Structure 1
Amino acid sequence: MSDDPQFTIARAIRLYNRIDELPRLNEGLEALGADLGWPGRSVMNLMLACEELVVNIVHYAYPEGGEHVIEVDVRATSDSVEISVSDGGVPFNPLETDNDPLSLLDMDLEERPIGGLGIFFVQKIMDDVQYEHAGGMNRVRMIKRF
């Protein structure tokens, strides 16, 4: 899909690994959705998926601390979007986990551990989610068709 000439808009959103950067991410996605006429619910779902990945990067990718850049690259048309979220943090494939997210849903809320459902929701929201680690970078690539 990334080599498809139909893509009409490409945007790069560069964030620092801080939670207070999330509004910039959401504003960028909202503006893109408005430009291309995406359904409002789809824009909200894209924001949720991207937020989940960025929050995980902020909390876990850089245990040594410091300021680092998270790259969100968006290629889009009116009927589809490809989003790549990249960081240079600790190599981690969020798609490979020992947790069974469906078993968490069966637990009482008081017994349920914090976390574990985010990537499950990302996979449900998006049509395709892939991970790669190359050149010292973690990259999650997501595709959604409208």
Structure 2
Amino acid sequence: MTASSLAFPVAWRSRRRLPARVEAIRDLRGSVERCAQYAGLDGDALGLFVVACVEAFTNVVRHGRGRPAGAPIELLISAERDALVVELVHAGEAFDAPQRTLPVELAHYPEGGLGLFIMQAAADRVEHEHAGGLNTVRLTHWPAPRHA
């Protein structure tokens, strides 16, 4: 598969500030779904990518450390020719994401971390960055090749 065989039909960008509350998941889900559909993503790929984004948002809200009270989470979505990218940017302490894979037996999986596995399984790339007091969780989906 070459880069030229991958393409979303349109380019699109969205930027929103969401409150760092679990109740904002509905707004996050709707924004990601609309942007992804506009970019041409649908079916199982859309559903799984949205789940990954919800997991990322939930992790930021529930486990983020050092975020100032009332500080929002910035949601950036871009659909380019070669990728759909969702970024969650938030103030706080750095998060060093472990590189995990799911063990064969779920019973042996440590408490916590399953959301990270879901993100890794449902997105083509998951990145965690920290610079200048800001954390960025970036989830990337590359489109399947289009057949003529």
TM > 0.5 fold call: yes
TM-score between the two structures when normalised by the length of structure 1: 0.78
Asked if 1:33 corresponds to 2:36, the answer is yes
What is the aligned counterpart of 1:144 among 133, 141, 145? 141
Specify the alignment match of 2:102 in structure 1.
Answer: 102
SS state at 1:73 partner: strand
Pairs within 5 Å for 1:109-120: 113-120=110-117
Name the amino acid aligned to 2:26. P
Report how far residue 80 of structure 1 moved: 2.8
SS state at 2:102 partner: helix
Residues 2-54 of structure 1: CA distance to partner in whole angstroms, max 9, x if unpaired?
Answer: xxxx9711111321110000000011112112322211222211211111111
Q: Distance in 2 between matches of 1:101 and 1:79?
A: 26
CA RMSD of superposed structures (Å)? 2.5
Q: Distance in 1 between matches of 2:44 and 2:134?
A: 31
TM-score between the two structures when normalised by the length of structure 2: 0.77
Asked if 1:56 corresponds to 2:59, the answer is yes
Report how far residue 64 of structure 1 moved: 7.2
What is the aligned counterpart of 1:73 among 72, 76, 94? 76
Distance 1:18 1:142, change over 3 A: same
Q: Distance in 2 between matches of 1:102 and 1:83?
A: 23
SS state at 1:66 partner: coil
Q: Distance in 1 between matches of 2:117 and 2:11?
A: 29
Indicate conservation of the 8 Å contact 1:38/1:78, yes or no.
Answer: no
Q: Distance in 2 between matches of 1:131 and 1:62?
A: 14
Asked if 1:121 corresponds to 2:118, the answer is yes
Q: Runs of 5+ in structure 2 lacking a partner?
A: 1-8, 144-148
Q: Distance in 1 between matches of 2:102 and 2:77?
A: 30
Report how far residue 75 of structure 1 moved: 0.8
Report how far residue 93 of structure 1 moved: 2.2
Indicate conservation of the 8 Å contact 2:67/2:90, yes or no.
Answer: no
